[in-house]
């Protein structure tokens, strides 16, 4: 398994660290998938997950992958810039008896090194584009990796989300972290998907997260 071959990884691992991973795993074991995650899983289930493959970009501990494996997905691949999730992720995969159907890749940025990542029926990015400076490039690369559909979430561009990210970034600066959050233009992100041959449509909207599905008109 490659580890931190991307020089940008350190800025993510600094913030998305072992403690962050532990908190996510504890919450998931106690309460299961969040409502945003359930929305994504339900949508993919409606398209059919049996024997399908899934690529999740920035999937953290892999809750979405566990849910989809439980529903019959053949194989999942997680690509992460932070290596701090691996212990919790592997423990969860083993607890659920699905470790052999999952691959975890660390330190590869799909927007830069897409050739190193396998394509899949479905691609997911949950709470990821707002952590990455070049959302359009990342989504275009993600779109190239899906044969059927992509689901992703992003914060809406409101004064509330912009102020909260500006406050968070100021805090990161004070703490000496290089990591920054972003509120990208939804229109430009959807255009990037449309240019790659996908048709994006919102599945749910709200003050914190919008969940968007983008389907390929004619599956490859
Ligand atoms: C807020 S966390 C979300 C993790 C997980 N999706 C969740 O919802 O719990 C964002 C994650 O995206 C990852 N990330 C950001 N840009 C990425 C990229 N280009 N490729 C892979 N992972 C990326 C970061 O390392 C970080 O772990």
pLDDT tens digits for 97-112?
Answer: 999 999 999 999 999 9
- What's the gap in Å between 47 CA and the centre of ligand 1? 25
Residuewise pLDDT in 10s, the chain (220 residues)? 333 345 567 889 999 999 999 999 999 999 999 999 999 999 999 999 999 999 999 999 999 999 999 999 999 999 999 999 999 999 999 999 999 999 999 999 999 999 999 999 999 999 999 999 999 999 999 999 999 999 999 999 999 999 999 999 999 999 999 999 999 999 999 999 999 999 999 999 999 999 999 999 765 5
pLDDT > 90 in the chain, percent: 93
Question: What is the reported pLDDT for 169?
Answer: 97
Query: 138 CB under 6 A from ligand 1?
Result: yes
Predicted local confidence at residue 8, as pLDDT? 67
pLDDT in tens, 165-195: 999 999 999 999 999 999 999 999 999 999 9
Dihedral sign from CA coordinates of 12, 13, 15, 16 = positive
Q: Are 150 and 213 in contact (CB under 8 A)?
A: yes
Average pLDDT, whole number, for the chain? 94
Name the residue at shortest CA distance from atom 3 of ligand 1.
127
- Pocket probe for ligand 1: among 68, 81, 165, the residue whose CB has the most ligand atoms within 8 Å is 81
Please give the Cα distance from 108 to 205 (Å, whole number): 30
Q: What is the pLDDT of residue 218?
A: 66
Pocket test for ligand 1, best of 131, 168, 172, 182 (most atoms within 8 A of CB): 131
* Model pTM score: 0.95
CATH code for residues 9-216: 3.40.50.150
Q: Is the CB of 80 under 6 A from ligand 1?
A: yes
Domain segments of the chain as ranges: 9-216
Residue nearest to atom 14 of ligand 1 (CA): 58
Q: In angstroms, what is the span from residue 12 Cα to ligand 1's centroid? A: 8
In short, whether 128's Cβ falls inside 6 Å of ligand 1 is: yes
Q: What is the pLDDT of residue 3?
A: 34
For residue 216, report the distance from its CA to the centre of ligand 1, in Å: 24
């Amino acid at each position: 398994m490659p580890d931190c071959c991307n020089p940008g990884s350190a800025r993510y691992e600094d913030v998305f660290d072992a403690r962050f991973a532990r908190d996510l795993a504890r919450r998931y074991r106690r309460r299961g998938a969040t409502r945003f995650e359930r929305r994504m899983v339900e949508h993919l289930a409606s398209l059919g997950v049996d024997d399908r493959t899934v690529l999740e970009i920035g999937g953290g501990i892999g809750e979405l992958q566990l849910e989809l494996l439980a529903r019959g997905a053949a194989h999942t691949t997680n690509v992460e810039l932070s290596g701090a999730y691996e212990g919790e992720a592997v423990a969860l995969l083993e607890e659920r008896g699905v470790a052999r159907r999952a691959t975890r890749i660390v330190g590869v940025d799909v927007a830069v090194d897409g050739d190193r990542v396998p394509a899949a029926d479905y691609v997911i990015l949950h709470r990821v584009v707002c952590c990455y400076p070049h959302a359009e490039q990342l989504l275009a690369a993600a779109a190239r990796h899906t044969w059927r559909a992509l689901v992703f979430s992003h914060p809406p561009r409101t004064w509330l989300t912009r102020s909260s990210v500006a406050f968070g970034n100021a805090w990161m600066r004070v703490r000496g972290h290089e990591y920054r959050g972003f509120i990208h233009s939804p229109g430009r992100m959807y255009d990037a998907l449309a240019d790659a041959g996908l048709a994006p449509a919102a599945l749910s909207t709200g003050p914190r997260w919008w969940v968007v599905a983008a389907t390929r008109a004619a599956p490859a």
